[in-house]
Amino acid sequence: MATAPFDIDAYLARRLNFETVFTPRDVMLYQLGLGFGRDPMDEAELPFVYEKSLVVMPSYATILAFGQRLITTKDDLNLVKLLHGEQALELHRPIPVNGTVAGEVRITDIIDKGADKGCIIVQEIGLSLKETGEKLATLRGSGFYRGDGGRGGTSGPATVPNAIPDRPADTVLAIETRPDQALLYRLNGDYNPLHADPDFARAAGFKQPILHGLCSYGIACRAVVQAFVPGEPERVGAFDVRFSSPVYPGETIVTELWRDGDTVSYRCKVKERDVLVLNNGRAMLR
């Protein structure tokens, strides 16, 4: 177990610059991985999987930034106990169907929860369109390092979660996942064997490979679009959530949604186990 204090200034000074090229094929593959197009005769879903009139889900920004991390195996951190805690996304403009993005990664906070609890490291990624320099998106994700508390941190507090309204949901949508959905979604670039290899998953404490957390995140975004801005995903300007529990491929994700003006609050459970998997969700509509 790591015990040396963090060099806070060194962590906050880290930067990583990268570029990502994407095409309509990449966009369609991502949206197939969210379950769009299961019924090829559903004309409402066709624009998400067919280049003729292709539209882009705002959650695709997570793929444009995927794998760009400032924390690596070289750091004195227990990555085995790492959990994806939160994911936040702000869109500064709609995502085009193709192009090149330039990105920069930085660490914004290290929140020490105590030696017996762990720490939270918050990473921010800014994306811009390389061709024009126009800001595209800002992503913020937190990693909860359960084995690395008591080592110091920044003075900033943890984010305050979005409160779910104390009333029945305005809309409830159930979206089934496919038993092979993780095998399809991983082709977007997340090849962690936890999502494909039964032996690896069992060694990690799961009965079978689990669905990617960012796939569940994208399915929740799909529910918001379907409920409030059908066919117009570009109207989602922000999308935030806390991860609570994994989903097994083949389970049904039930999203409860509350709308207050341009703010949508949401949470997700899996129908088969009645387990909360995403919580304190917030989407902002344009």
Active site residues: 190, 195, 210, 213
Task: Measure the CA–CA gap between 8 and 109, rounded to whole angstroms.
Answer: 9
Return the residue matching tokens 């880290």: 14
For residue 128, give the 3-state DSSP assignment.
strand
Beta bridge pairs of residue 103: 18, 127
Cα 258 vs. chain centroid, distance in angstroms?
20
| Residue 57: closest CA among 226, 200, 211, 269 | 226
Q: Using alpha carbons, select from 18, 19, 1, 14 the residue that is nearest to residue 109.
A: 14
Between CA 147 and CA 251 the distance in angstroms is: 30
Interacting residues of 19 by C-beta distance below 8 A, sequence separation 6+: 100, 101, 102, 103, 130
The H or E element that residue 199 is part of is: helix 198-203
